[in-house]
Amino acid sequence: MGGYILKRLLSAIPVLLGITVIVFAIMTLIPGDPATAILGSYATPENVARINRELGLDKPVVQRYFIWLGNMLTGDFGTSFSLDRPVIDEVLERFNATLVLAGTSFVLCSFFGILAGVISAARQYGWADKAITFAVLLGISIPSFFLGMMMILIFAVRLQWLPVSGMYAIYGGGGLVDLISHLTMPAIALSVVATGVIARLSRSAMLEVLRQDFIRTARAKGVGERRVIWRHALRAAMVSIIPVLGIQAGFVLSGAVYIEIVFQWPGVGRMLVDAILTRDILLVQGGVVFVAACYVMFNIAVDVAQSLLDPRIRT
């Protein structure tokens, strides 16, 4: 087991390096002049030359990549010019908020998605199946940002059940209850699409498994239908559901960008959009690399979970 984890961790190294290369390539090779962007109307030739020297832009590309990579490995992601603050500090702070949001959403969509999928499969062609199938269709068709806006209108403005936006109340905020009341709407809005996708896949995975011989064996043993479904079938179906959970985690993380904008959530997605609009290249670079790296790590965790579940792939 330990060997398997180590192997997966080692295999992540080239992927992580690849990510840095891709991000660096996008940011460097695509035409555009960061110095002019930073300086705006102060862009005299002397100033541009000075900024280029400060950013190391006068050196050859390959050398610049390794300097950038080396700095990142020591935790130095550079300084954001628009915030005048080390990129890593800002990213870490923002990423925390995103983690709370996306993590909650991920738990919600995994739980309800699998639940709905299993019920749907167990009651195939029954009314529950039809209701779930329809809800799923609606769920995967509604853009999360539109859903979020409608939720604000209904639950925050009309019914006044929940706060409109933000992560904590500005006055007297803080504490878990405050966080939860702010978190509820964005977390749900963010999880809806993924819930639908997971429900759909769980349904077909369950249907596939329910036809297998070992299910017939369980029934021949006299195992009750509930246990057949929730134990025998779901356990086997999880083998194909878990990779989907991994993929959906990526979509949840992506969708967080929209939800953070709609609900003014102080996360990394909103930071990235702001950074793009102010052309704060270093902040974008640092944020993207950091989040992508976290996602790679998360996927390793998914693989490990998979190997815990399925003894056949433990090697």
Partner 1 sequence: MMKFLVLLVRNRLAAVGGVLLLVVVLLALVTPLLPLQPPNVTNTADRFLAPFAPGHLLGTDHLGRDLLSRLLWGTRLSLAVGFAAAMIAATIGAAIGIVAGYFGGRIDNVIMRGVDMLMAFPYILLALAIVAALGPGLMNALIAVAAVNVPFFARNIRGITVGIANKEFVEAARLAGMGHWRIIGIEILPNVLPVIVIAVSTTIGWMILETAGLSFLGLGSQPPVADLGSMLGEARSALITNPHTSVVPGVMILVIVMGINLLGDGVRDALDPRLRSGALTRPMPATTVARDTVPAPRGEGVLDLTELETQFHVGKRIFRAVNKVSLTVAPGECLGVIGESGSGKSVTALSIMGLVASPPGVITGGRADYRGEDLVGMPYDKLRSLRGDRIAYIFQDPLATLHPLYRVGEQLREAIQVHHRVGRAEAWGRAVDLLRSVRIPNAENRARAYPHELSGGMRQRVGIAMALANEPDIIIADEPTTALDVTVQAQILSLLDDLRRERGLAIVFITHDFGVVGQLCERVSVMYAGRIVEEGPTRAVLDAPAHPYTRRLIACVPELGQGRRRLHSIPGLPPPVDNLPDGCAFAPRCDKAQDACRRCEVTLDTAGARAVRCLYPEEDLSVQGGTA
Token pair 């699409």 is found at 193
Helix and strand counts by DSSP (H, E) for the chain: 13, 2
Which amino acid does the sequence have at 309?
L
Please report, as residue ranges, which positions from 119 to 138 form the binding site for partner 1 (by CB under 8 A). 121-122, 124-125, 137-138
DSSP string, 129-187: HHHHHHHHHHHHHS-HHHHHHHHIIIIIIIS--S-SS-SS-TTT--SHHHHHHHHHHHH
Q: Is 276 a residue that touches partner 1 (CB under 8 A)?
A: yes
Q: Does 211 bind partner 1 (CB under 8 A)?
A: yes
The closest alpha carbon to 35, from 46, 44, 25, 48, belongs to 48
User: CB of residue 242 vs partner 1: minimum separation in angstroms?
Assistant: 12
What is the Cα–Cα distance from 128 to 177, expressed in whole angstroms? 34
User: Which of 215, 242, 304, 305 contacts partner 1 by CB under 8 A?
Assistant: 215
Candidates 39-47, 53-61, 108-116, 233-241: pick the segment binding partner 1 (CB under 8 A): 233-241
Question: By C-alpha distance, which of 113, 129, 114 is closest to 195?
Answer: 113
Q: Which is nearer to partner 1, 174 or 217 (CB)?
A: 217
Q: Which one of the spans 1-9, 106-114, 168-176, 306-314 is the region binding partner 1 (CB under 8 A)?
A: 306-314
Residue 62 burial (C-beta neighbours within 10 Å; 0-12, 13-18, 19+): exposed
Minimum CB distance to partner 1, residue 28 (Å):
8
| Least Cβ distance, residue 277 to partner 1 (angstroms) | 7
Site for partner 1 in 24-83 (CB under 8 A): 26-27, 30, 32
Contact with partner 1 (CB under 8 A): which of 182, 272, 303, 306?
272
Among 108, 162, 262, 302, binds partner 1 (CB under 8 A): 262
Stretch that binds partner 1, among 43-51, 76-84, 144-152, 176-184 (CB under 8 A): 144-152
Cα separation, 164 vs 150, in Å, equals 11
Residue selected from 57, 223, 304, 305 as contacting partner 1 according to rule CB under 8 A: 223
Q: Which two tokens stand for residue 311?
A: 């003894």
Q: Which is nearer to partner 1, 64 or 179 (CB)?
A: 64
Indicate the residue among 31 and 177 with the shorter CB distance to partner 1. Answer: 31
Check binding of 204 to partner 1 (CB under 8 A).
yes
Nearer to partner 1, 176 or 277 (CB): 277
Please report, as a single letter, which amino acid is at residue 64. Answer: R
Among 279, 304, 305, 307, binds partner 1 (CB under 8 A): 279
Counting contacts by CB under 8 A, is residue 295 touching partner 1?
yes
DSSP per position, 57-110:
TTS-HHHHHHHHHHHHHTT---EETTTTEEHHHHHHHHHHHHHHHHHHHHHHHH
Query: What x/- string results for residues 5 through 24 when contact with partner 1 is judged by CB under 8 A?
Result: ---------xx--xx-xxx-
> What kind and span of H or E run contains 213?
helix 213-221
Q: Are 78 and 87 in contact (CB under 8 A)?
A: yes
